[in-house]
Chains A and B, each alone.
Chain A
Amino acid sequence: MGKQTIIPFGPQHPVLPEPIHLDLVLEDEQVLQAIPRIGFVHRGLEKLAEKKDFQDMVYVGERICGICSFIHSVAFCQAMESILGIEVPERAQSLRGFWSELSRIHSHWLWMGLLADSFGFENLFMQTWKLRESLLDLVEATAGGRVIYGSCKIGGVRRDISLELITQAQTTLKALYTQHQILASIFENDTSIQHRTQGKGMLSKDKAYELGAVGPTLRASGWPLDARLLKYGTYQNLEFQPVVETQGDCYARMRVRIREVDQSFDLINQLLKKLPDGPVETKITGMPSGEHFERVEQPRGEVVHYLKGNGSKFLERYRVRTPTFANLPALVEILKGCTFADVPIIVLSIDPCISCTER
């Protein structure tokens, strides 16, 4: 048996956009064990719910994460609407779906760029982020913000989009889709990418389920589980099948995300074609009393928002279980046995979002 060394990895590391610390127990080049430590960016957002008006909490909920911001606010609003017994107009639900899918696409492009960056493919990284930039402009033109959309509110959405904007969005998305196909083909067929990702970080089907992985990490191991299948909001009117891969390695996780971008383009097309007319918001009546457990699909997987109201304007309890938190046990498992040089790619392959995790 060789000598064991502990190498600290993170919280500051070139491939990590956010702070997570891993103590890697190495024997020669091989990782025997990884001990994660989080808690560098804890902000105590859940506690804030006890002192903030429940209508203002939407803004806080949206700021849990800077990438899947919009879907966090959708989850919070849907949970609140269930407690208050509010019916959301159909147009508002469709618009929520539209922005959710846009944020899924931009999140996956962000991740694809970071993946290319993690193995030093700077050119591809720039090309991917160039695409993402055009999408962010579209988001700004429709929602008003690039990262924080600020469009979701309890009872509906804040702003409607005109027919002209919808046509503009369709044209932009069509062009982006064509460019995505070129990038997707490079990501899937490039031999250097295949060499760095295939067979790395294997997560078997049983292990993925046992460790409670969610999102693309789970689907890349062969489980067709997607919270959008619960048919919340606008998804009850849309046709889709979850994207599934069976190999369970980094390459499979990459392919799931690439094909989910295709799927999101398709979903946006479907919902823009049959965008219903009507109001985009309803009035909020009463104070929240009761509890609700909302499951929503984010780019990284299923997020759970638990809300408990006590009849006053302040919530009694607010709890968020984010997808990265659920994927951490799987990460620790797949790091076992890999070589040290593969650690950055494997860590990135679950698409870690640490600010989400620590709230």
Chain B
Amino acid sequence: MSYFQMLNLSIQQLWHRPATRLYPQEVRPVIARSRGRVELQPSTCTLCLLCEKKCPTHAIHIDRTQRLFTLDRFQCILCGACESACIAKHAIVLSEHYAPPQTHRDVIIWPVPSTPPSLASTTKSQNKG
């Protein structure tokens, strides 16, 4: 009896598309609200240090004199504490896109403009060993 149930399930599967995706050709659709990666809008950031204080893994480093915002994605656990700390300014948000894989460990540095604001963003490699 149950042999037929399993057989039935397997035969049905023959007429369906595979449940898995052919990854590089077919990319998984992004799920809204997913905590993918941390993004900073340098133009709205006031360097108030709230997110740096709230980050449980010390992934954020802010240099106020040089106006540099540094994020170590390898240390970030995507908890969202920085996003809730910055809730009034929406400068730091969790985007639903995942961070792409990296071959070596580096940090992301966003220069934060004073005035006038520009949307400059650069990635600088810093070998941390």
Q: What residues make up the interface of A, taking CB atoms closer than 8 Å to B?
A: 52-53, 56, 59, 123-124, 126-127, 130, 133, 137, 140-142, 144-145, 148, 150, 158-159, 182, 185-186, 189-191
Contacts and interface: CB of A to CB of B under 8 A. Distances in A.
B6 interface: yes
B18 to A, nearest CB: 10
A127 B8 CA distance: 12
B3 A140 contact: no
Interface stretch (B28-36, B44-52, B66-74, B109-117): B28-36
Contacts of B80: 144, 150, 158-159
Given A141-B31, A150-B79, A186 B6 contact: yes
What 3 A-B pairs are tightest by C-beta distance, nearest first?
A: A189-B2, A56-B56, A144-B35
A15 to B, nearest CB: 21
Report which residue of B6, B9, B34 has the largest number of chain A beta carbons within 10 angstroms of its beta carbon.
B6
A141 B32 contact: yes
B29 to A, nearest CB: 10
Contacts of B5: 182, 185-186, 189-190
Given A141-B33, A182-B5, A158 B56 contact: no
A182 B9 contact: yes
Interface residues of B, number: 20
Nearest to A191: B2
Contacts of B78: 145, 150
Contacts of B119: none
A123 B77 CA distance: 35
Contacts of A159: 33, 80
Contact of A150 (B3, B6, B35): B35
A73 to B, nearest CB: 11
B10 interface: yes
Contacts of B31: 137, 140-141
Interface of B: 1-3, 5-6, 9-10, 19, 31-35, 56, 77-80, 84, 94
Contacts of B9: 127, 182, 186
Nearest to A52: B56
12 contacts: A59-B77, A123-B6, A144-B35, A145-B78, A159-B80, A182-B5, A182-B9, A185-B2, A185-B5, A186-B2, A186-B5, A191-B2
B33 A124 contact: no
B2 A145 contact: no
B84 A190 contact: no
B56 to A, nearest CB: 4
Given A124-B6, A127-B9, A182-B9, A189 B19 contact: no
A140 B6 contact: no
B31 to A, nearest CB: 5
A140 B10 CA distance: 28
A56 B79 CA distance: 10
Report which residue of B1, B3, B79, B80 has the largest number of chain A beta carbons within 10 angstroms of its beta carbon.
B79
A118 to B, nearest CB: 17
Contact of B2 (A130, A142, A190): A190
A52 B56 CA distance: 9
A158 B84 contact: yes
Nearest to B77: A59
B129 to A, nearest CB: 23
B3 A190 contact: yes
Contacts of A148: 77
A170 to B, nearest CB: 17
Contact of B19 (A52, A123, A130, A191): A130
A100 B85 CA distance: 26
Contacts of B35: 144-145, 150
